[in-house]
Amino acid sequence: MVTFCVCSAYVVLRSGAFGDDYSFLHSIQFDSGEPILRHNFKEGRYISGLLHYISFSNVSTVSGLVALRIASFFGMLATFLTLYITYRKSLSNTQILYLIPLLFSLPIFSQYLGFATTWAGFWGLCLSLVATKLLLNARRLLQASGFLLLLSLYFLSQLLPFWVFAFLAFNFLVNKSQLNEMLRLTLRVVYLQLLAGITSQVFRILINNQLNIEESGRIQLVSTEDITAKVYWFFSRIFVSVLRPYQIGSPSSFEAFLTSSLMFLLILFTFVLARKKFTPNKPTKIVILEFALIQALAILSLAPLLLWNQNQIEFRLIGAGSFVTVSILWVSLLQIMEVERKMFLNVGLLSLILFLVLLNVSRTLELRTKPFESKERFITSSIQHCEEAGKEGKLVIKMPEVWPKRNLLGDYSIGTDLQMSWVPIPNIKLTLKDIARAKVEAEVYVSTGLSYSQEDCLINFTDYVNRNWMQLSHDDPLKLFLLNLTSNKPLLKE
């Protein structure tokens, strides 16, 4: 557990800015900060919008974003503590201390830790866990409903309220809940979640109309002609991601089917064994139905993706389903194995946790930190070259025709965040501010047929791609990690 926290802290301290981190910080430093509020408000994320506005207002440089990633780290610790307090009577200390790092070694959590803009998401995750605890108590349903509405106004468009279904599945597994109780609680949560979701959307429409904020395309309902394609895309996520929880490679159809089928059979087998151990007389048919209901909770945790017009490709948005998969696997295995009495099982689990933690650190370094550092070196050296040459004109960014991509899932496939249209200009201006250059107030242009003179400072990202990204491996970072165990060859050229 200590190793897990230390390695997570290392990721937090070593990571750089990515994507929205630049646009949010740029909005505060060079604008009024209003774009941050509008960006969040048009999707109904009023609470997270205010939190982002306040937090980014207290950061002045890219390097200062580490403070927000530290906030993510403490949000993660708060989630751990809440999980421990909630289930310390249902699990032994040994079991829960194994479960926490096994569950939170999913790639999505290292993703959260690596972004400054997602610090509020980790604290929202903790609120989702608290909401789940309240929902289980019939006397505290009013409070639970308030928490669900709060979460819907917090991060509805990024599925945060629907983590309640994942935590509910975890509760059923830990407490070995019976089918009737599981059905009753599931229907209660579905009803209250629908009520909170509809109420939050009414608030969103009324508030945004009053503030004259346009609706985001990300949360428009799917059109009738696109329903078939949407259903296919939605259920394919189960095979591509939910049942491949620790993998981030983009598989072929055959590979996705094979690996997800093996995982499905494994979690089904371990679940049945665990249930039969404690209730040997229970009919296998009932056990299968209990398993099916828990799987249904994994699907419910992703439900908004089936309703919205746009497919959310961000890998971190579909983590709740993966959380259910690993919960079934590890809770069932720890219930079957009496780890307190068997030294070799302890050694095996500790080795597995260490492997998963180091794998996540390796993934973050290869896919986020090294590209960030390489990009910043290139921008800084380009600016220094212009200064040495005495170029005092405008700053012009030349973009490559093709950006590199990895054969990975979601935003892991992005070779560099420079390919996001909202990143290059904020990135350049914030880098100028970080290195305290006089050109920080200069106009920055993206070259799209724009003519520029010899006096202009050209930052040619085509050269950056040619120098740094042609050596990029497109393999799953799991393969890179295994290769790095036997080789010190760097992924990127210096």
The rounded distance, in Å, linking the Cα atoms of 34 and 471 is: 40
Q: What is the pLDDT of residue 471?
A: 53
Grouping H, G, I as helix, E, B as strand and the rest as coil, residue 310 is: coil
> Contact, 157 vs 43, CB < 8 A?
yes
State which amino acid sits at residue 379.
Answer: I
Bridge partners, residue 395, by sequence: 444, 457
The rounded distance, in Å, linking the Cα atoms of 418 and 428 is: 10
> Contact, 324 vs 294, CB < 8 A?
yes
> Contact, 125 vs 160, CB < 8 A?
yes
| Two structure tokens written together for 158 | 């990024």
How far is CA 220 from each of CA 55, 161, 224, 306, rounded to the nearest angstrom? Answer: 29, 18, 12, 11
Q: Which residues of 262-300 are buried (b: 16+ CB within 10 A; e: fewer)?
A: ebbebbbebbbebbeeeeeeeeeeebeebbebbbebbbb
> Contact, 314 vs 410, CB < 8 A?
yes
Any idea where the domains of the chain sit in the sequence?
2-341, 372-484
- Give which of 158, 151, 224, 226 is closest to 193, Cα–Cα: 151
Cα 60 vs. chain centroid, distance in angstroms? 25
Cα 204 vs. chain centroid, distance in angstroms? 24
Q: What is the pLDDT of residue 385?
A: 84
The rounded distance, in Å, linking the Cα atoms of 207 and 422 is: 26
The rounded distance, in Å, linking the Cα atoms of 113 and 119 is: 7
Cα 338 vs. chain centroid, distance in angstroms? 33
pTM of the model: 0.86
Q: What is the pLDDT of residue 169?
A: 94
Q: What is the pLDDT of residue 329?
A: 93
H helix or E strand, kind and range, residue 102: helix 93-103
> Contact, 105 vs 4, CB < 8 A?
yes
Digitized pLDDT (tens) for each residue of the chain, 494 residues in all = 666 777 777 778 777 788 889 989 988 888 777 888 888 888 778 888 888 899 999 888 888 898 999 998 898 889 888 998 999 888 888 888 888 888 888 888 887 788 888 888 888 888 889 989 998 888 888 888 888 888 777 765 556 678 889 999 999 999 998 999 999 999 998 998 888 888 887 888 888 888 888 777 677 778 888 888 888 888 888 888 889 998 888 888 888 899 999 999 999 999 999 998 888 888 999 999 999 999 999 988 888 778 777 765 555 556 888 999 999 999 999 888 865 567 777 788 888 888 888 888 888 888 888 888 888 888 888 888 887 777 777 778 888 887 878 888 877 888 788 888 888 888 888 888 777 655 555 566 666 555 667 777 888 888 888 777 655 545 565 665 555 555 544 444 33
Over 407-432, what HEC string results? Answer: CECHHHHECCHHHCCCCHHHHHHHHH
Q: What is the pLDDT of residue 185?
A: 92
Q: What is the pLDDT of residue 288?
A: 94
Packed helices 34-41 and 179-211: angle between N→C axes, nearest 10 degrees: 130
Grouping H, G, I as helix, E, B as strand and the rest as coil, residue 308 is: strand
HSE (side-chain half, CA atoms, 13 Å) at 487: 9
Grouping H, G, I as helix, E, B as strand and the rest as coil, residue 395 is: strand
The rounded distance, in Å, linking the Cα atoms of 155 and 33 is: 19
Q: What angle do CA 267, 271, 277 make, to 5 degrees?
A: 150
Q: What is the pLDDT of residue 184?
A: 93
H helix or E strand, kind and range, residue 246: none
